[in-house]
Amino acid sequence: MPIPPHNRRASRAVAATLSAAGLIALAAAPAAFGDETAPELVIGGIEPVNGVKPGSSFDLSATVANKGTRAAEKVWVSYGVTRGLDFAEVPSNCRTQQVRSYDEMPERWIAVCAFDQVVEPGTVYTPERPLRVEALDRALNDELRVNVWDVDPGADENGTQPVAGTAPAVKLVEGQAGSEGTARVVNVPVSSVNTADYQVTGAALKGSVGDTVKMKVKFINAGPAWILTKQGERSVSVMITPPAGTSVVKRGQFCQAKGKAYVCGMRSLNEASSTTANRPPGASASWTLRSARSG
């Protein structure tokens, strides 16, 4: 989600103040705006979620705290979930948006909740009612991302038109002291009790000695879960061993030699879809084999 610059709203505020007060006020306090510090908002109270069953739901609680010295006049909390999860109900002071995959980020749902309340320094707040998240049939290894802002983050330009929630609005209430977090952005894993059926298909090849032929190797995820390879984790891989008596003229992209075989890593792959030689679904074959000449 794009991060709007913090000085955008401040610049508008400065312009409005100068317009109303005139040059006399500017001369009287030239350093007032430069000395003003921004709120330092942090998210806390979020832990990894394990053992979720598809079709069930869980409550997502979070805390908001201001570690700065200036109060935040209004705050926005955004919740992002990967495509194995969804929001069971959304308060009317929140808006949701479906964002397609881009820049190596998987498809996700985002809910941005606006709290028109002052968040004072040194005080911990929490939504009076937790956000409920549902695990879909395709859930397996998903991710939850929570941000807090003192300006409206706006909509993601790669997503659908935001839609306002229909459940009763929620507000922030004072939370337990000592439960504040340390970061503005928090990422946590959500693992579900599910499986993904991996399948590999190939094709029979024909050719005379010395011929060069193309080989298609397709990896299929028959579901029911989708596959998300997270950063730092070992990805699903397919090992391809060329037939005896052949040599590889051109190998698949992102495939590395391992002895006489080649290992191709898989990125995120939706359920009931396939990919060829680690390329996106529907890509053409990228393997070329040549038969050895006799003698």
Is the link from the previous residue into 224 a cis peptide, with omega within 30 of 0? yes
Question: Using CA atoms, how far apart are residues 99 and 103, in angstroms rounded to an integer?
Answer: 12
By CB atoms closer than 10 A (0-12, 13-18, 19+), residue 290 is middle
Which pLDDT does position 279 carry in this prediction? 42
Question: Using CA atoms, how far apart are residues 38 and 16, in angstroms rounded to an integer?
Answer: 18
Which pLDDT does position 288 carry in this prediction? 63
Q: How confident is the model at residue 7 (pLDDT cuts 50, 70, 90)?
A: very low
Per-residue model confidence as pLDDT tens digits over 210-256: 888 888 778 889 999 998 876 667 677 888 888 888 888 888 777 88
pTM over 0.85: no
Question: Using CA atoms, how far apart are residues 39 and 62, in angstroms rounded to an integer?
Answer: 18
Question: Using CA atoms, how far apart are residues 166 and 249, in angstroms rounded to an integer?
Answer: 58
The mean pLDDT of 104-130, rounded to a whole number, is 94
Could you give the strand order of the β-sheet that contains 63-66, starting from the edge strand earlier in sequence? 41-44, 63-66, 124-127, 172-174
| AA letter at 32 | A
